[in-house]
Amino acid sequence: MDKEDKHNTTILIVDDLDVNIMLLEEILGSLGYNTRSAMSAKEATDILNEKLPQMVLLDIMMPDINGYEFCQMLKENPHTRDIPVIFVSAAESDDEREKAFEIGGVDFIRKPFDLTEIKTRVSTHLNIYNLRQELEENNRKLNQVISEQNEKILNEKKRILENLVKLSSDVDDMSLNIDNIVRNSRMLTQALNFTDKYENKISEAFIEGVEIAGSIR
């Protein structure tokens, strides 16, 4: 992650102890990240409602709502469920770490803080988060292109069907016109028998020949 990306990245620190917040703000600030802080789940919720951060560093032991409960709330909310949550705790128990992962946390940082550990874990999960966001955006754009192409194909099919219907109608009209020509040809040929020039000279075979010629399509 380059400096510009870090400058546009905000990490929310949720801890009920001022000293922990100050230490994390100093460490993350030295790494180029923006930070916001809250000392309770309620304060954190108010901040989240203002603007979503790209990561949450969350203490486990807090008054009212503990870190596990707050993380579960984040994961149940469609607006915050994709934000990576890293738990921060002095607990050494493997059960604590296991529960942190089960509840939706992506990693676990132990107190007292180690600069290298924080730098590595935060950077790794922010990169994963950004790549996932980029992938989802690309998928959204791809689905939009596919949808637009499908609409074009449907419109083209509709146009072709309309042209086929029109062509069929034209063929029917042409057939009707040919039938009229055949009928009129017979009548005109028969009428020649009543003229002085062709009286009694037009045979039935000739009339049928004219009729057949008129019906050729």
What sign does the dihedral 170-176-182-184 (CA atoms) show? negative
Does 152 or 141 have the greater pLDDT score? 141
Helix axes 18-30, 115-192, angle to 10 degrees: 70
pLDDT of residue 172: 54
- In the predicted structure, residue 198 carries a pLDDT above the cut 80: no
The Cα-based distances of 128 to 52, 96, 116, 136 in angstroms read: 17, 24, 18, 12
* Block residue for tokens 């689905």: 143
Work out the burial of residue 145: count CB atoms within 10 Å of its CB; fewer than 13 is exposed, 13-18 middle, 19 or more buried.
exposed
At 21, which amino acid appears?
A: I
DSSP at 104: T
- For the chain, give the mean pLDDT: 83
Global confidence as pTM: 0.67
Region 106-131: mean pLDDT is 94
Helix axes 115-192, 204-215, angle to 10 degrees: 170
37: phi then psi, degrees, rounded to nearest 5: -135, 150
Residue 174: which pLDDT band, with cuts at 50, 70 and 90?
low
pLDDT of residue 154: 77
For 20-43, the pLDDT digits (tens) are 999 999 999 999 999 999 999 999
Name the least confident of 72-81, 112-121, 125-134, 190-199.
190-199
pLDDT of residue 20: 95
pLDDT of residue 50: 95
For 32-78, the pLDDT digits (tens) are 999 999 999 999 999 999 999 999 999 999 888 999 999 999 999 99
pLDDT of residue 199: 63
Q: For residue 33, how many other CB atoms are within 10 A of its CB?
A: 23
DSSP 163-193: HHHHHHHHHHHHHHHHHHHHHHHHHHHHHHT
